[in-house]
Structure 1
Amino acid sequence: VWNQPREEALFYEGYGPGDLDLVALAYYRYERIVKDLLEYCDQMFDAAASTEDREEGLRQMKSQFLPDDVVAIAHRSYDDIT
């Protein structure tokens, strides 16, 4: 989860403080989003999938683009380096 303060706190608790490579962070956030979108497309266009599974794939895909969700966070990551 990229947009929850508790998750961020747990990350730093586990890994400790450190300098972030902002270019790498932006890249890997976008890469993860693309992989997830491909999985959702596979789910939605799978001829053997149930209607419920297809609808869930669409719901998950749409949620990526909500304000303050992963796409917006990735864009902010990129904006931080440009």
Structure 2
Amino acid sequence: MDAFEKYYIPKLNASVVRHYVTELKFLITDCEFGDMRDSLIKDKIISGISDEKVKNELLNTDSLTCEKAISICKMAELIEI
């Protein structure tokens, strides 16, 4: 089962995550979400993660911030390498 998951579940890529976050921040600038901006970006990151282990870690982290979510994603990729 582990071999199956490693083959079919895509690995995280820090460059892709950074690009994704940068694109989200750019798109959200004109939306006037105010203080909710980072929270909405964090939620979009979580919903876009296909790795269930990383997604569960993000969802189970107390006081998860946008920056903390990005950090967890980067660490998950480093561990996989």
TM-score (norm 2): 0.41
